[in-house]
Structure 1
Amino acid sequence: MDLGFGGEISDLYHRFRRGYPPELIRAVAEAFSLGGDDLVIDLGCGTGQLATPMARQVRAVIGVDPEPDMLARARSAALEQGVSNVGWMVGKDTDLPLLQSLLGERVGALTIGQALHWMDHETLFATAGALLRPGGGIAVVSNGIPLWLQDSDWSRALRAWLQDWLGAGPTNSCGTDEDARQRYAESMIANGFEVSQVKIDSTEELDFDHLVGGLYSSLSVDRLPPPEERAELEASLRSALDPHRPYVEDVPVRAVLGTKIT
């Protein structure tokens, strides 16, 4: 499964995608009673924004992602932070049964940080129970709203600019909307999980460089503008957004937690 997130995208992802708040990490650990004996699998781990802080709560984390460049950046970032109990594996959600047989043990949690929209969640939830220990569970986490879907003047200006640049207005919520969370919760319940939710709200003021970096990090590598075109492109974007400063971003962090009850 090639999602186009290799090469420069992995570095942009690491630099400009925010980490998860400590309250979220604690909430997941408490919900599944995670401790020093537990193993956690982080699916669609990207550059480790969720896997690395989660590793401080448990014996070890395995970060799984289909993109080797993402994993290479995640590995170096974890080492830079002094976190050594994370392993990194090329794979995807359909590899869970194989991973279970390789591990030879059940895990405390399966975490998915803003990546479930790339997966077949129905099949994933139906098969995940066999991988989890009693009281363990699945955490599906979203970390804010895409820059182009904010309820603000600067975000509306960004949508209009993207419409001109891409020829189509971006609408993908990346699984951050309430309808997606409801689908995930209903599917978890149907597969025997007890569902709860975590909500953490904050705001963050972005500077222009972080806004551009966040935008670039959401593109596949084939849609990323070549370096020689970026200065002109960014000047056009700055002109469109400058009247709407400051760029205050709403950051609703949401987690749907499914606890294994049998």
Structure 2
Amino acid sequence: MSQHDSAALFASTAPYYHYRAGYAPDLYGLLTDRFALDADTRVLDLGTGIGVLALPLAERTGQVIAIDPEPGMLAEGRAAAERRGLPNITWIQGDSTSMTHMGLEPVRLVVMGAAFHWMDRDQILQDLNTLVEPGGGVALASGGAPGDIDPPDWKAVVDEVRIRYLGPQRRAGSGTYSHPKERHEQVLARSPFSVVEKHSWDRTVTRTLDEVVNLQYSYSYSSPAQLGPDQAAFDADLRAALAEHTPDGAFHERVRTEAIIATRN
């Protein structure tokens, strides 16, 4: 996927992914209508994680192929699919570089979440051009670009504690992470999927203290693996700082779901 070993990077985050806000329900209605998803269509979720996109889409299409390099993520996704009675998801361990050797059948739609920014974006879009059927496309789901929505005031408390334990740069494995400087729309504009449209939905999410703390462990830069033996101390310090900042224990955040849909000209 990138210069980082994604399997090691996300290994300890899988049990905490469900603390993330997820995507707005309207996203799935849009994709269903835009690409005429039904019992005869097939969708690929590349970099599926625990299946945040795959699970709702499996209720709207005939088959979902869910690919991720991290077995722990796939295990969480399989368990969630069983709980929801969704047998039409095929879970495959792999990544964007091995996808072309899997013998996949054509798909109507490819969806990618945050994993897209870890990939060789130009190369994967070229590869997907041979896999997406006529009339199909690519959809990128995210929380929007950094700075699109003002962060909640409690996030500064989280950042202060994280920096105290892990330093000022967001760590990625043994290195540090930098968000790609080139926006996805620019990459798409020079790809086979150059017709780009954007949609967004904003909503407010309210979390408890436990949920805010556990949310931090879902991020690669503050994962249990990054914290190591300091996790217990980090946890205690973060809880104390957040409780002092927000005594009523209700942590509000305005979150965005952004969908970038790209089709061929």
Q: TM-score range by the shorter chain?
A: 0.7 to 0.9
Superposition map of 1:51-66 within 5 A = 51-66=54-69
Q: Which amino acid aligns with 2:255?
A: V
Alignment of 1:242 with 2:243, yes or no, is yes
Seen in structure 2, the aligned counterparts of structure 1 residues 252 and 205 have a Cα distance that, compared at 3 Å, is same
Say whether 1:90 aligns with 2:86.
no
Q: What residue is the counterpart of 2:117 in the other structure?
A: 117
Tell me the distance in 1 between the aligned counterparts of 2:86 and 2:165.
Answer: 41
* TM-fit CA distance, 1:252: 0.5
Tell me by how many angstroms 1:222 deviates: 2.6
Deviation of 1:33 after TM superposition, in Å, equals 2.3
Separation in 2, partners of 1:87, 1:5: 21
What CA distance in whole angstroms lies between the structure 2 residues aligned with 1:63 and 1:145? 25
CA distance, structure 2, for counterparts of residue 156 and residue 216 of structure 1: 16
- Structure 2 distance, partners of 1:81, 1:20, is 18
Alignment of 1:1-262 (within 5 A): 1=5, 2-6=7-11, 8-13=12-17, 15-99=18-102, 102-103=103-104, 105-143=105-143, 151-170=151-170, 183-193=183-193, 194-219=195-220, 220-226=223-229, 230-245=231-246, 246-261=250-265
Distance 1:222 1:250, change over 3 A: same
Cα separation, 2, equivalents of 1:202 and 1:62: 29
Q: CA RMSD in A?
A: 2.4
Distance in 2 (alpha carbons) for counterparts of 1:224 and 1:65: 24
Identity of aligned residues (%): 34
Amino acid at match of 1:38: T
In 2, the alpha carbon distance for the partners of 1:221 and 1:118 equals 20
CA change 1:257–1:83 in 2 (3 A) is same
State how many pairs are aligned. Answer: 247
Once residues 167 and 117 of structure 1 are traced to their aligned partners in structure 2, the CA distance between those partners, rounded to angstroms, is 23
Counterpart in the other structure of 2:174: none
TM-score, scaled to structure 2: 0.84
CA distance in 1, matches of 2:95, 2:189: 23
Query: Match for 1:89: what amino acid?
Result: I
Unpaired runs of 5+ in structure 1?
Answer: none
- Which is further off, 238-247 or 105-114? 238-247
Whole-Å separation in 1 of the counterparts to 2:125 and 2:190? 9
- Superposition misfits of 4+ residues, deviation over 6 angstroms: none
Is the 8 Å Cα contact of residues 21 and 205 (structure 2) preserved in structure 1?
no
Structure whose residues are more often helix by fraction: 1
- Which residue identity is paired with 2:257? V
Measured against aligned partners, the alpha-carbon deviations of 1:156-180 in whole angstroms (never above 9, x if no partner) come to: 12212211111224496867xxx65
| TM-score, normalization by structure 1 | 0.85
Query: What SS is found at the alignment partner of 2:10?
Result: coil
Consecutive unaligned residues of structure 2, counting only runs of 5 or more, are 172-176
Distance in 2 of aligned mates of 1:46 and 1:27: 22
CA distance in 2, matches of 1:221, 1:65: 20
**1:159–1:169 contact (8 Å) kept in structure 2:** no
Q: Work out the CA distance in 1 between the residues paired with 2:22 and 2:153.
A: 25
CA displacement at 1:81 relative to structure 2: 0.6
Give the Cα separation in 2 of the matches to 1:260 and 1:123: 16
